[in-house]
Structure 1
Amino acid sequence: MNNRSAIHLIVPAFLGVLIFTFFPLIQIAIPTFQAKGNVFAEYVRFLQNSYNLQVIARTFMISVITVIIVLVLGLPVSLWIARQKVGVKQVLSLLILFPMLTNAVVRNFAWIIILGKDGILNKLFMALHISNQPVSILYTNISIVIGSVYLFLPIMITSLIGSISELNIEVEEAAAVLGATPLTSFFKVLIPQLTPGIFTGCILVFAGTMTAYTTPQILGGNRHLVMSTLIYQQAMTLGNWQSASVVAIVLILISAFSMWLMRRISHMLDRRPSLA
C-alpha cells in the first residue's frame, strides 16, 4: 500500500474523530471564554468558590479511594483466575463480566435496598448487635465509593487477567529456586512485571469514577455532589449552561492530566526489557 492510499483510508476516520469528538468539546468550551475583559474570568470565578473546590476534592478523593480498593480486591482475584485452566478461566471471566450486562441504574437501585436504613446491611448490623440503631450509609461518600467499586471492579479484573496471562511463570519459579519467599516473589517479581496492566486498569477505573454520573446521583443524592452531578445541577436545574460548561472543561482537564501522569509513572516503573 502506497502513502497516498494510506492517507485516503486515514482521512475519513480522522474527520470522524474530529467531528464527533473534538467539535462537541469546542462547542462546550467556547461559551466559557466569552466573559468581557479576562477570557478566563469564568474559570477564576469557579475556582474561587470554596464549594466548587470541595466538589473537586470530593470527586478526586472518591476516585482515588475507588482505584485503591478495586486494585486491592482485583489483584488477587485476577491472579487466581489467570492461573486456572483455559475452560475454567473463560467461565470465570464471563461471570466477572456478567454484572456489566445489567443496566447501571438497576444495579445502583439494588444498593439502595442494601444500604438503606431499613436495608439488608443495617438489619445485619442490628441482628449482630454491632449497632443499636440504623447506620446512615446511603447518600454519603461511602455509598458512592461502594457503588463505584462494584461498578468498576470487573474492569480492573479483566485488565489484570490479560496482563497476568502474558507473564512467564518460569521467572517466578526461578525466584523460588533462588530462595525468594512467596511474599517476596509477589512484590519483587510479579508486581514489577504487572505494572503496565495495573496502571492501565487504574487509569480506566479512575477516569470512569471521575466522570460517572449515575452512581453518584443515585447513591450520593443532592448533598454529596461530585463534578458530574454538579454539571447536571447547573445545566438542568439552574439553567446555567455557561457554568455547566466550565465545570465540564475543568473535569476534562483534571481527568486528562491525571491519566497522563499515571501513564508517565507507569512508563517509569515498567521494568520489562525494551524490544527496540
Structure 2
Amino acid sequence: MNKKSAVYLLLPAFLAVLVFTFYPLIQIAIPTLNSKQGFLRLYTQFLRSTYNWEVIQRTFIIAIITMLIVLILGLPVSLWIARQKRSFRQVLSVLILFPMLTNAVVRNFAWIIILGKNGVINQTLMALHIVKSPVSILYTDTSIIVGSAYLFLPIIITSLVGSVSELNIETEEAAAVLGANPWTSLFKIIIPQLTTGIFTGSILVFAGTMTAYTTPQILGGNRHLVMSTLIYQQAMTLSNWDNASAIAIVLILISALSMTILRLIGKKLDRRPGLA
C-alpha cells in the first residue's frame, strides 16, 4: 500500500476525530474568549480565587496519590499474573476486568456502605477496640482516593501484564547467577524494562482521576470539590455556563500538560535498546 492510499483510508477517521473531539472543545472555548467581561477575563477571575486554587491542588494531589497507589498495588499483581500458565492467566485477566462490567455508580455506592460511620471498616475497628467512636472516612479526600484506586486498578494491571509478558527472563536469570537478590532484580532489571507499560498505565489512571466526576461526587460530597464537580456546580446549580466552560478548559490544559510531562519522563527513563 502506497502512502497516498493510506492517507485516503485514514482521512475519514481523521475527520471524525476533528468533528467529534476538537469541534466541541472549540465550541466550549469560544464563549470564554469572547466573554462580555473582556478577553480572558473569566480565566483571570478563576485563577485569582484562592478557593479555586485549592480545588486545583486537591484534584492534582488526588490524581497523583491514586496513580501511585494503583501502581504499587498493580505491579506485583501483574508480575504474578504474567508468570502463570496461559489458560490460568486468561482466567485471572477476566476476573480482574469483571468489576468493570458493573456501573461505576453502583460500585461507588458499595463503598458508601463500606466507608460509612456504620460501615464494615468502622464496625471492625470498634469491635477490635481500636477506636471508641466511628471514624469519618466517607466524604473526605481519602474516600475519593480509595474509590478512584478501586476503579482504575484493573486498567493499570491490564496495561502492565502485556508489558511483563514481553520481558526477557534470561536477564533475570543472569542477574540471579551473578548474585542479585530479588529486590535488586526488581528495581534494576524488571522495572527499567517496564517503563513504557508503567507510564502508559499511569497516564491513563492520572487522566481518568483528574477528569472523573462520579466518584468525587458520590464519595466526596459537596465539601470536597474537585474540578469536575466544580464544573457541575457552576453549570447545573449556579447556571453559570461561561464559568463552567472556562474551568473545563483549564482542566483540559492541566491534564494535557501533566500527561505530556509524564510521557517525556517515561521516554527519558526508558532503557530499552534503541529508545534510551
TM range (shorter): over 0.9
Q: What is the distance in 2 between the residues matched to 1:227 and 1:54?
A: 10
- Structure 2 match to 1:127: 127
Structure 1 residues 248 and 37, CA gap change in structure 2 (3 angstroms): closer
What secondary structure does 1:272 align onto? coil
Alignment of 1:98-109 (within 5 A): 98-109=98-109
Structure 1 residues 138 and 165, CA gap change in structure 2 (3 angstroms): same
Alignment of 1:1-276 (within 5 A): 1-35=1-35, 38-274=38-274
Identity %: 72
* Contact 2:267 2:275 (8 Å CA) reproduced: no
Tell me the alpha carbon deviations over residues 50-93 of structure 1, each in whole angstroms, 9 at most, x when there is no partner: 11100000000000000111111111111111100101111111
**What is the alpha-carbon root mean square deviation over aligned residues?**
1.3
What secondary structure does 2:247 align onto? helix
Structure 1 residues 270 and 4, CA gap change in structure 2 (3 angstroms): closer
Q: What is the distance in 2 between the residues matched to 1:107 and 1:275?
A: 40
Tell me the alpha carbon deviations over residues 163-216 of structure 1, each in whole angstroms, 9 at most, x when there is no partner: 000001001001111111111111111111011111111000000000000000
Structure 1 residues 20 and 132, CA gap change in structure 2 (3 angstroms): same
Letter of the structure 1 residue corresponding to residue 197 of structure 2: G
Tell me the alpha carbon deviations over residues 214-265 of structure 1, each in whole angstroms, 9 at most, x when there is no partner: 0000000000000000010000110000000011000000000011000000
* Contact 2:193 2:271 (8 Å CA) reproduced: yes
| Per-residue deviation, 1:37 | 7.5
Tell me the alpha carbon deviations over residues 89-137 of structure 1, each in whole angstroms, 9 at most, x when there is no partner: 1111111101000000000000000111111111011001111011110
Moved more, 197-206 or 33-42: 33-42
Q: Figure out how many residues of one structure are paired with residues of the other and give that number.
A: 276
Letter of the structure 1 residue corresponding to residue 27 of structure 2: Q
Letter of the structure 1 residue corresponding to residue 97 of structure 2: L
| Per-residue deviation, 1:33 | 0.5
* Contact 2:227 2:251 (8 Å CA) reproduced: yes
What secondary structure does 1:180 align onto? coil
Q: What is the distance in 2 between the residues matched to 1:88 and 1:153?
A: 20
Q: What is the distance in 2 between the residues matched to 1:86 and 1:225?
A: 44
Moved over 2 A (4+): 1-8, 35-38
> Unpaired runs of 5+ in structure 2?
none
Q: TM-score, normalised by structure 1?
A: 0.97
Q: TM-score, normalised by structure 2?
A: 0.97
Structure 1 residues 33 and 275, CA gap change in structure 2 (3 angstroms): closer
Q: What is the distance in 2 between the residues matched to 1:275 and 1:41?
A: 44
